């Protein structure tokens, strides 16, 4: 009988191969196969080194690789990017920045792009933040803590920071806002709700500044 850990390796290898084929179809005109392979497998290794749950690593790696490839394509002028890109950053990318990302994507309805990252990404999302967001009908459970890359930073039109202080990057000429928002780490859902609602209102105001009417 094949050991469980070997079965997981086989499942992951198959899933990664499929993910690589999808990325190649999507980015074939923009990047060569070796570049796509490297981004995918580097993403897999990076997330796998921290993730508390290993089962969905290929899917998470594919999503992170896709984000980085989009960012690099924009930075290098390989694509014309008309949608604004907003980057939400906090210390662990487990609570505040993930809630902000959830609200932004919910309201923006694909009219703008949003990414998130952390200075020291956690191994898992803040469970209370996930639960608080679910209460208002927004599922962020599919997200995952991740760091930022140079391409992602340079591709952002707006950088929103929350509590990462000097570790968060500031890029000359790029719009930056620092949101003073309480950290939900270690708090029960009842105490996360006011933080959630504060972030909700800030995201609505951010979208208004981009002339994007909020739709629920």
Four-residue CA torsion sign, 7, 10, 12, 14? negative
pLDDT digit string, tens, across residues 117-145: 998 999 899 999 999 999 999 999 999 99
End-to-end CA distance of the chain: 51
Contact indicator for 146, 129 with CB cutoff of 8 Å: no
- At the topology level, CATH places domain 1-80 in Helicase, Ruva Protein; domain 3 (1.10.8)
Contact indicator for 93, 45 with CB cutoff of 8 Å: no
CATH 3.40.50.1820 fits 82-216, yes or no: no
Query: Annotated catalytic, 73?
Result: no
Share of the chain above pLDDT 70, in %: 95
Question: Catalytic pick from 94, 153, 168, 207?
Answer: 168
Question: Catalytic pick from 85, 152, 164, 206?
Answer: 164
Q: Can you tell me the distance from the alpha carbon of 27 to that of 73, in angstroms, rounded to the nearest whole number?
A: 9
Q: What is the pLDDT of residue 49?
A: 87
Which pTM does this prediction carry?
A: 0.89
Query: Annotated catalytic, 164?
Result: yes
Question: Catalytic pick from 51, 71, 73, 90?
Answer: 90
pLDDT digit string, tens, across residues 25-69: 999 999 999 999 999 999 999 988 887 767 789 999 999 999 999
Query: Annotated catalytic, 109?
Result: no
Four-residue CA torsion sign, 136, 213, 95, 185? negative
Please give the DSSP secondary-structure letter assigned to residue 178.
E
Domain segments of the chain as ranges: 1-80, 82-216
pLDDT band at residue 4 under the 50/70/90 scheme: very low
**For residue 165, what are the contacts with CB-CB under 8 A and spacing of at least 6?**
none
Contact indicator for 146, 165 with CB cutoff of 8 Å: no
């Amino acid at each position: 009988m094949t050991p469980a850990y070997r079965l997981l390796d086989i499942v992951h290898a198959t899933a990664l191969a499929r993910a690589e084929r999808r990325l190649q179809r999507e980015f074939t005109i923009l990047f060569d196969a070796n570049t796509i392979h490297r981004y995918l497998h580097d993403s897999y290794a990076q997330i796998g080194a921290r993730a508390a749950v290993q089962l969905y690593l290929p899917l998470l790696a594919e999503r992170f690789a896709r984000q980085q490839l989009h960012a690099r394509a924009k930075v290098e002028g390989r694509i014309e990017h008309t949608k604004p890109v907003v980057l939400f950053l906090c210390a662990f990318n487990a609570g505040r920045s993930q809630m902000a990302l959830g609200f932004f994507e919910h309201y923006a309805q694909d009219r703008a792009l949003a990414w998130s990252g952390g200075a020291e990404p956690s191994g898992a999302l803040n469970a209370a933040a996930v639960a608080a967001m679910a209460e208002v009908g927004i599922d962020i459970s599919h997200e995952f803590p991740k760091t930022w890359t140079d391409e992602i930073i340079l591709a952002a039109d707006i950088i929103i920071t929350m509590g990462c202080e000097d570790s968060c990057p500031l890029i000359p000429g790029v719009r930056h806002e620092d949101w003073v928002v309480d950290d939900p780490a270690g708090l029960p859902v009842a105490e996360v709700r006011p933080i959630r609602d504060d972030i909700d209102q800030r995201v609505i105001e951010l979208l208004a500044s981009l002339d994007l009417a909020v739709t629920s």
